[in-house]
Structure formats: structure tokens, C-alpha cells
Amino acid sequence: MQIDLDLFVCFAAVAEEMSFRKAAEKLSKDQSWLSRRVRKLEEYLGVRLFERNTRHVALTADGRALLEHARGFAEAADRLQGFAREIRHSQVRRLRIGAAAYSAYMVERVELVNSFMLRHPRISVEVLYGQTFNLIERLQRRDIDVAFVSMPFDRSDLDAMFFHSSEGGFWMRHDDPLAAKEEITAQDIRGRRVANLPRNVKSKLQQMIHKVLADAGAVLVPMPETERSAIRLYAQMQGLLLLTFDGLDDLSLRASNMVYRPIAGVDLRREMWLLRNRDNHSAVVDWFWSLARQYTADAAAESRAAGEKNGTAAGRRQRAPARPHDRAGGA
């Protein structure tokens, strides 16, 4: 008898969720139908794959052995089905990505979008800028498909995936007294004038940064405009310190007559999260979400390796995220 390969997909879904109910929801199938499919596979193989009772589901030794092979097959089958759907729909597919404007300078975010474009050249990709609160509203209205936003935010009705964390530091003119130091401290910025966004920019991230710098004794100087290159010029002309979370990756500042110095003793950290509507599992969004998950896993592994090599617990630019108060599933 020829085996129905879809049985392995059903088995893998239950094994991953360790719940027939959750697996059925994931597959958009009836729970009793899914249970019958798994039993059919067990009958074909002649072994029990799960230990079942009214309280929990657990894999048997045979089930664990099978999962090693079934997991890869299920993932491949999902990708194949998605590609088949893409071919079947000849119209142009698109992915609308919401992002904070500063993320245009974030190498990690741009790399992810570029990687997606190379993998799916037939999908039209558009990046739309906005502040976190605005991006969340647009996401809920379905004006965009996914959004890169900064902590803090509090949305229990959205799927959230931690993407990147970076430490703050300062750019300054090369003739600034602090440029002679390899690293500056909170004491160094006391009384120093720091370029700040215009007063009408009132994001939660900006408010948090404002408080940390004010508590350290820095003097915040509001800029007349939000354009990054313009703020850099104002900082150069006025001899201001310029806060950045992109460090030496900020190519526009590296090309200028300024130097970068990290700061110790001040909790300046920017976290970026990827959001989507919890019920949005279109093929395009799922592909981007999966790629982002793979990207963050690879980045975390590289960070751990770098930390072990340098004798530290983790790299300076990638730290464990602080969880949102109502972080949704799907990370």
C-alpha cells in the first residue's frame, strides 16, 4: 500500500505543538479528523507514535525517531505548497513593510529585506516609514503587512518577534575632548549638549531616551528637523554630541569628520521587534516571518560564538530582549 505523505505532515504538526487541538488549529482542520490521520499513520507503521491521555500528549521513542525526518519533510512541503500558490496566482504579489525611518541605517534590517527580495524576485516589496504607534495602527488597518517597531509597546493582539538589540553610543567631532577616550561614562556627558529630535517627536522610545540622558545630566538640544543627515550637520557645526544606536555601522557618520565612542554606565539600548497581525498567515507574510526567525537565530549564534571567543557572555551589540508586558505568541 502506498503511504499518503500528508500523514507525515499531520504527525509533525502534532509533534511540534504537543497538542492535537493546537495542531488542528494550525492546520485549519477538525481535531477528530487530525486524530484519525495520525492513527492511520500508526496503523501503517505498526507502532505507536504518541502516548495519549486526557491531560497530555507525549512522543514515544518511535515518534521521536520519526520526527527527526518528518520535521524536515513538513517544512519542505509547506515551502513547496507556498511556491505552488505563488505560481498559480500570476498577479503581482507584494509585501508592505512598516519601519521606523532610522532603521534605514540598520544593516541587519536592510540585510533581511534584501535577502527576502533575492529569494522572491516576483514579489513587490515596499518599505513605508512611520513611528511605532503609527505603524501599529496601520498594521491593524491592514495598510501594511508587517512592521519593525521599537520597544516599548503593548499590543497583546499582535504576533511579536524580537529582531535586534543595539547599545547606544555617541558621535562627536574629532577635536572634542571626549574623542581622546576609548569609552566614555555617564560622568563625561554631565553638562554636555546632546542633539535631540524636535519637540514634536514624542514616541515612547524617544521619551525613554530623553529621561535616561536627562538623569545623567546631559543638556538636550532639540533640532529643527528630523532628517538624519541634517541633524549630523547641526551636531558638527555646534559641537554637539550625537546619540546613535548603530555605532560604527553608521556609514554616513563614518564618512564625516566625526568619531564614535561607546558609553558605559548608562542604560541606553534600543530593541527592534517585528510585528504582524495574529491572523495574517498569508504565504508572503509567512515567508518573511520565517526568514526573519532564521536570521535572528543565526545572529544569536554568531553573537554567542563571538562572546565565547572574546571571553564574554555575549557580543556588545546583541543582548537578550526585555519581554513586552503582553507579548503575543509567534516569536
Here the CATH number for the domain that contains residue 34 is 1.10.10.10
Which secondary structure element, helix H or strand E, spans residue 24, and what is its range? helix 20-27
| CA atoms of 109 and 300, how far apart (whole Å) | 15
Residue 328 confidence (pLDDT): 37
* Residues 6+ away with beta carbon under 8 Å from 140: 157, 158, 277
Give the burial class of 323: count Cβ atoms within 10 A of its Cβ; 0-12 exposed, 13-18 middle, 19 or more buried. Answer: exposed
Domain finish residue from 31, 66, 88: 88
Q: Give the tens place of pLDDT for each residue, 202-246.
A: 667 777 888 888 888 999 998 888 777 888 888 889 999 998 876
In the predicted structure, residue 191 carries a pLDDT above the cut 90: yes
* C-alpha dihedral (138, 229, 317, 241), degrees to nearest 10: -120
CATH number at residue 219: 3.40.190.290
Does residue 148 surpass a pLDDT of 80?
yes
Residues 217 and 75 in one domain: no
Does residue 327 belong to any structural domain of this protein? no
Q: Is the pLDDT of residue 173 over 80?
A: yes
Specify whether 221 is located in the same domain as 291: no
DSSP 51: E
Binned at pLDDT 50, 70 and 90, residue 151 comes out as: confident
Q: Name the domain boundary from 88, 105, 140.
A: 88
Determine whether 206 is exposed, middle or buried from the number of CB atoms within 10 Å of its CB (0-12, 13-18, 19+): middle
Q: Is the pTM of this model over 0.85?
A: no
Say if 330 falls within a structural domain: no
Q: Are residues 182 and 241 in the same domain?
A: yes
Using the predicted structure, report yes or no on whether residue 324 has a pLDDT greater than 50. Answer: no
For 58, the domain range is: 6-88
Domains of the chain: total: 3
Is 320 among the domain residues?
no
User: Do 296 and 157 belong together in one domain?
Assistant: yes
User: Are residue 61 and residue 104 in the same domain, yes or no?
Assistant: no
Q: Are residues 157 and 278 in the same domain?
A: yes
